[in-house]
Amino acid sequence: MSLNATITSILTRIQESTECQSDLERLEGEVLQFKVTDGEEYRLAFREGTVQLDNTATPTFRFEGRSDVLASIFDGKLTPLAAILTRRVKATLDPVRGPAIGRVIAAGLRQKAGDGA
C-alpha cells in the first residue's frame, strides 16, 4: 500500500474512532506536516474535533523522514517518539503535542490492526 493510501486509511479510522476525542480537541487548529525527505508531503489539519488531509493548510509543526521510516511508523513498527529520539526524523513536535499526535495515530493503527483480525 502506498504511503498516501496508508495515511488516508488511517485518517478514516481516526475519524471513525471515539477513543481519541480529547486529543483531537487538544490539537484543534494545529496542522501537522508529514514530509518524505526529497519527496511528497501530507498536511493533517486538526479541525472541529477531527483530522483531515488538507495540503493547502499552513503547517504549525512538521515531521520529516525517509519514506521507509515513515512507513515503519504507519505500519506500527516504530513509534513516532522512538523515531524522534533515534534521530530518524526531523520534527518540531514537543512533549505536549507529540504524545497527543502519537495517541491519535495509534488509535488509527489499532483500528487498522483490528480490521485485519
Nearer to another protein, 92 or 111 (CB): 92
Round to whole Å and give the CA distance between 6 and 11.
Answer: 9
Least distance (Å) between residue 48 CB and another protein: 27
86 binds another protein, rule: CB under 8 A:
yes
Binding region for another protein (CB under 8 A) out of 3-11, 14-22, 33-41, 85-93? 85-93
**Residue 37 interacts with another protein (CB under 8 A): yes or no:** no
2 forms part of the interface with another protein (CB under 8 A): no
Binding flag, residue 92, another protein (CB under 8 A): yes
